[in-house]
């Protein structure tokens, strides 16, 4: 948040001369001076994120496999912060749709995605393409808990094992 303050002042200055010529009054009217400065006010915030754990995935099920996680932003100073949360593309797929987790110690990939809505229609990304970011006002001592919705599409024929991926979450306020 940027703070800008301006102070305007004007004045009259009288000066008396002690010379023999008499009294000279010098009147100075300062037209309008603007003494402005610009500064930045920061809200002190902490951020934490819980991992999105999909648990076990059954390749034989015909329905999607869903999970939820959260990102918490807690600010303890004023002014209130208005953070925007974005989640970067998948390092494995290079994009947002789909994101892909990689088999530990292998090369197999499983498609998944993260969403900002419970209907899982708005992909959580960086605002580019068809992705969305999320923002909210965070007041002192009132943390914002943003729910992350995750989905693995059904019927992916993948090997048993642990799949994972690390994404970059960016929070700007």
Please tell me whether residues 30 and 53 are part of one structural domain: no
Please tell me whether residues 34 and 80 are part of one structural domain: no
Please report the pLDDT score of residue 5 as a whole number. 31
Could you tell me the CATH number of the domain that includes residue 101? 2.60.40.1090
Pairing of β 99-103 and β 109-115: antiparallel
At 28, the pLDDT band (50, 70, 90 cuts) reads very low
Please tell me whether residues 99 and 134 are part of one structural domain: yes
Please tell me whether residues 77 and 159 are part of one structural domain: yes
Please tell me whether residues 36 and 49 are part of one structural domain: no
Please tell me whether residues 23 and 87 are part of one structural domain: no
Residue ranges making up the domain that contains 69: 45-172
Pairing of β 109-115 and β 12-13: unpaired
Please report the pLDDT score of residue 76 as a whole number. 80
Please tell me whether residues 68 and 126 are part of one structural domain: yes
Please tell me whether residues 28 and 113 are part of one structural domain: no
Distance CA 114, CA 38 (A): 39
Please tell me whether residues 7 and 56 are part of one structural domain: no
Please tell me whether residues 59 and 28 are part of one structural domain: no
Distance CA 48, CA 53 (A): 16
- Is the pLDDT confidence value at 81 over 50? yes
- Is the pLDDT confidence value at 19 over 80? no
DSSP-assigned states of every residue in the chain: -EEEEEEEE--EE-----STT------EE---EEEEEEEE----EEEEE---------TT--S-EEEEEEEEEEE-SSSPB--EEEEPPPTTTSSSSSEEEEETTS--EEEEEEESSTTS-SEESSSSTTEE-EE--BBTTB-EEEEEEEEE-S-----SS-EE----EEEE-
Instruction: Report how many domains make up the chain.
Output: 2
| Residue scoring higher pLDDT (49 or 16) | 49
Nearest to 81 by CA among 34, 39, 9, 136: 136
Please tell me whether residues 52 and 18 are part of one structural domain: no
Whole-model pTM over 0.85 = no
Distance CA 164, CA 154 (A): 17
- Is the pLDDT confidence value at 125 over 50? yes
Distance CA 77, CA 60 (A): 51
Please tell me whether residues 148 and 132 are part of one structural domain: yes
């Amino acid at each position: 948040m940027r703070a800008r303050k301006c102070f305007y002042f004007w004045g009259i200055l009288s000066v008396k001369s002690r010379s023999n010529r008499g009294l000279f009054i010098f009147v100075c009217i300062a037209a309008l001076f603007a003494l402005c400065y610009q500064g930045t006010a920061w809200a002190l915030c902490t951020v934490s994120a819980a991992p999105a754990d999909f648990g076990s995935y059954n390749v034989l099920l015909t329905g999607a496999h869903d999970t939820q996680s959260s990102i918490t932003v807690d600010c303890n100073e004023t002014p209130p912060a208005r953070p925007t949360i974005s989640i970067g593309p998948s390092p494995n797929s290079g994009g947002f749709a789909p994101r892909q987790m990689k088999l530990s110690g292998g090369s197999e990939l499983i498609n998944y995605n993260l969403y900002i809505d419970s209907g899982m229609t708005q992909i959580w990304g960086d605002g580019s393409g068809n992705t969305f970011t999320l923002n909210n006002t965070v007041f002192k001592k009132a943390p914002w808990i943003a729910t992350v919705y995750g989905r693995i599409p059904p019927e992916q024929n993948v090997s048993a094992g642990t799949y994972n991926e690390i994404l970059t979450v960016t929070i700007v306020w």
